[in-house]
C-alpha cells in the first residue's frame, strides 16, 4: 500500500472503520440545515449503547450539573451537537475486542493512553482558563484516530510497527516507512471526511510537530503538552527524557503555566483517565496495574533526573575553578535543585502507595490491604525520614553567602549528607525502613 491508495480509500469509502448505521445517521442529521436537538435525539435512541454513553457523559463530573439529565434530548442540549457527534464517533471507533482480535495489539494500553491524553488536555484547559475545556477534551480524545484506521484496515502491518520490526526512531517515522503516510495525516483526512470542526482537525494533524510551534494556537499546544505528560505504554516509542523535559518546559512557558500546575496535572491524570473510561464504557484494565505502571515511570524519571543533576554538578565544578564566586552560587543552585527533586519524588512515592491502599479499601480487599500494610508503612517511614532530612539540608544551605558552598565538593556530596541525616533521624525515632539502595520494585510495587 502507499499514501495515494490510503487517501483514496478514506475519500471514497462511505463506511470507514465499519461505522454502524446509527452513527452514519447521526453524522447526516447534524449536517442538515434543519437540524434540531429533538431529531438528533430520536436517531441516538435507536442505539441503546450510544444512548447510555451520551447520558453518562452529560451526567459526568465534567459538566458539574446540579440536576440529573434523564433524557437524550436534554443531553443533546447540554453537550451540544458537535460534542454528541464526536462522542458518537469515539463510541464507534473505540472497539477493543475488534482491535485485539484483528491485530493482536494491547487495546487496553492504547485506550489508556488515548483517554489519559483526553484527561490531561481537559485539565490543562481548565488550569489556563481556555475558552472551552470541552473542546480540549474532544481534541485529545480523537487525536489518534489515524492509528485506529491503521489497526482496522492494516492490522498485520501495524503489528509489525508495534513489535519494532520496522527500524525507526519514532512511531510516525515507522508508519511512513510502512504506509507512506503517518497516523497524523491519516487522522486529518478522516476528520475532514467526517466534517469535524477545525478545532479537532488541527490537533489531529499537528500533535507530534514540536518544531516551529505556533504560540497562538493554544488548543494544539494543549494537546501537545498533554501527550508529553502521558507515558505511551502502547507503541513503546518514547521521546528521550531530556528532550521531553525541554519540550514540556517550552510548552508550559507558551501556555503561561507554573511547574506546580504541571505537577498537579500529572498527579491527577490517572484518576481522570479512570473516570473517562467509566462513562465511555471502556475497559482500560486493572486499576492496581495502572498504578504500578505509573509508579514505575516516576522511578525511571527520577533516576534520569538524578543523572542529569550529577552531570550538571560536574560541569559546575569545572566552572568553579574558572570563576569562584559564580561557581559558588551555581553550586548552591545545584544543591537546591537536587534536594527539590529528592523531595518531589519521595512525595510521589508516598502518593503512589496511598493510592494503592485507598483502592484496596474501596474494593473492600481488607486481607490484601493488611498483608501489604507492613511493607507500605516501612516505605512511608523511610520516605518521611528522607523528607525531614531534605528540609534540614535546605535550611542549612539556603543563605546564598554560606561559607561552605564556596567549595563545590560540598555541593557534590549531598547524597552522603542526606544519608547521614536519615541515620540520625532513624536513631532518634526508630522506625522500620527499606534499604537505601532498594530497587524500584520494592518502592513501586506490592
Give 390-439 as a DSSP string.
HHHHHHHH-STT-GGGGSHHHHTTHHHHHHHHHHHHHHHS------TT--
Measured distance between the N- and C-terminal CA atoms of the chain, rounded to whole angstroms: 47
What pLDDT was estimated at residue 129?
Answer: 95
Query: 200 with 191: CB under 8 angstroms?
Result: yes
Handedness of CA 400, 402, 403, 405 (dihedral sign): negative
Question: How far lies 199's CA from each of 60, 83, 118, 209, 294, in Å?
Answer: 23, 12, 14, 16, 30
What pLDDT was estimated at residue 272?
Answer: 85
Query: 140 with 223: CB under 8 angstroms?
Result: yes
Residue 164: phi and psi, rounded to 5, are 65, 35
**For the chain, domain boundaries:** 3-285, 288-444
List CB contacts of 268: < 8 A, sequence separation 6 or more.
119, 123
What pLDDT was estimated at residue 329?
Answer: 64
CA dist 290 and 284 (Å) reads 9
Q: Grid coordinates representing 261?
A: 500546575
Q: Grid coordinates representing 50?
A: 450510544
What pLDDT was estimated at residue 14?
Answer: 62
Fold classification of 3-285 (topology level): Hypothetical protein af1432 (1.10.3210)
Question: How far lies 283's CA from each of 89, 165, 352, in Å?
Answer: 17, 28, 22
pLDDT in tens, 179-198: 999 999 999 999 898 888 88
pLDDT in tens, 313-372: 677 666 656 665 555 666 666 666 777 777 777 777 787 788 888 888 888 888 888 888
Q: Grid coordinates representing 170?
A: 519514532
Picking from 421, 409, 422, 441, the residue whose alpha carbon sits closest to that of residue 383 is: 422
What pLDDT was estimated at residue 444?
Answer: 40
Residue written as cell 493554544? 218
SS3 call for 196: coil
Handedness of CA 365, 368, 373, 379 (dihedral sign): negative
Q: In angstroms, what is the C-alpha Rg of the chain?
A: 25
Q: Grid coordinates representing 350?
A: 508516598
Q: With a cut of 70, which residues of the chain have pLDDT below it?
A: 14-20, 62-66, 285-313, 316-336, 395, 397-414, 428-446
Backbone region of residue 195 per phi and psi (left: phi > 0; alpha: psi in -120 to 50; beta: other values): left
Picking from 410, 405, 355, 346, the residue whose alpha carbon sits closest to that of residue 381 is: 346
What pLDDT was estimated at residue 120?
Answer: 93
Query: 186 with 149: CB under 8 angstroms?
Result: yes
Query: 403 with 309: CB under 8 angstroms?
Result: no
CA dist 268 and 316 (Å) reads 35
Picking from 176, 177, 174, 183, the residue whose alpha carbon sits closest to that of residue 153 is: 183
Amino acid at each position: 500500500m502507499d499514501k495515494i491508495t490510503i487517501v483514496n480509500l478514506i475519500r471514497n469509502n462511505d463506511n470507514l472503520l465499519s461505522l454502524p448505521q446509527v452513527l452514519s445517521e447521526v453524522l447526516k442529521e447534524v449536517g442538515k440545515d434543519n437540524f434540531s436537538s429533538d431529531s438528533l435525539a430520536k436517531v441516538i435512541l435507536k442505539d441503546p449503547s450510544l444512548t447510555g454513553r451520551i447520558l453518562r457523559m452529560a451526567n459526568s463530573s465534567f459538566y458539574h450539573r446540579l440536576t440529573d439529565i434523564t433524557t437524550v434530548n436534554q443531553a443533546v442540549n447540554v453537550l451540544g451537537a458537535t460534542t454528541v457527534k464526536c462522542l458518537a464517533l469515539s463510541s464507534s471507533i473505540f472497539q477493543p475486542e475488534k482491535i485485539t482480535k484483528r491485530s493482536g495489539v494491547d487495546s487496553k494500553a492504547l485506550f489508556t493512553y488515548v483517554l489519559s491524553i483526553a484527561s490531561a488536555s481537559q485539565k490543562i484547559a481548565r488550569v489556563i482558563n481556555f475558552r472551552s475545556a470541552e473542546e480540549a477534551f474532544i481534541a485529545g480524545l480523537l487525536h489518534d484516530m489515524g492509528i485506529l484506521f491503521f489497526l482496522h484496515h492494516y492490522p498485520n502491518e501495524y503489528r509489525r510497527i508495534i513489535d519494532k520490526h520496522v527500524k525507526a526512531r519514532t512511531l510516525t517515522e515507522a508508519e511512513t516507512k510502512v504506509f507512506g503516510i503517518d497516523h497524523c495525516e491519516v487522522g486529518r483526512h478522516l476528520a475532514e471526511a467526517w466534517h469535524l470542526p477545525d478545532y479537532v482537525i488541527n490537533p489531529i494533524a499537528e500533535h507530534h510537530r514540536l518544531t516551529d510551534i505556533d504560540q497562538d494556537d493554544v488548543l494544539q499546544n494543549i494537546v501537545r503538552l498533554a501527550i508529553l505528560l502521558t507515558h505511551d505504554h502502547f507503541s513503546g516509542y518514547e521521546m528521550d527524557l531530556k528532550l521531553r523535559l525541554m519540550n514540556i518546559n517550552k510548552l508550559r512557558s507558551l501556555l503561561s503555566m507554573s511547574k506546580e500546575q504541571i505537577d498537579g496535572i500529572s498527579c491527577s491524570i490517572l484518576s481522570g483517565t479512570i473516570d473517562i473510561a467509566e462513562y465511555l464504557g471502556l475497559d482500560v484494565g486493572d486499576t492496581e496495574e495502572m498504578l504500578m505502571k505509573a509508579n514505575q515511570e516516576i522511578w525511571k524519571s527520577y533516576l534520569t533526573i538524578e543523572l542529569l543533576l550529577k552531570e550538571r554538578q560536574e560541569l559546575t565544578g569545572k566552572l568553579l575553578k574558572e570563576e569562584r564566586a559564580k561557581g559558588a552560587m551555581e553550586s548552591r543552585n545545584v544543591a537546591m535543585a537536587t534536594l527539590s527533586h529528592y523531595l518531589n519524588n519521595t512525595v510521589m512515592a508516598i502518593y503512589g502507595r496511598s493510592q494503592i491502599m485507598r483502592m484496596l479499601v474501596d474494593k473492600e480487599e481488607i486481607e490484601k490491604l493488611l498483608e501489604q500494610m507492613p511493607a507500605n508503612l516501612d516505605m512511608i517511614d523511610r520516605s518521611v525520614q528522607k523528607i525531614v532530612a531534605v528540609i534540614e539540608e535546605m535550611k542549612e544551605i539556603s543563605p546564598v553567602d554560606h561559607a561552605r558552598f564556596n567549595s563545590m565538593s560540598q555541593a557534590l556530596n549531598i547524597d552522603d549528607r542526606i544519608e547521614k541525616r536519615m541515620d540520625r533521624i532513624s536513631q532518634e525515632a526508630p522506625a522500620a525502613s527499606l534499604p537505601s539502595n532498594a530497587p524500584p520494585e520494592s518502592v513501586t510495587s506490592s
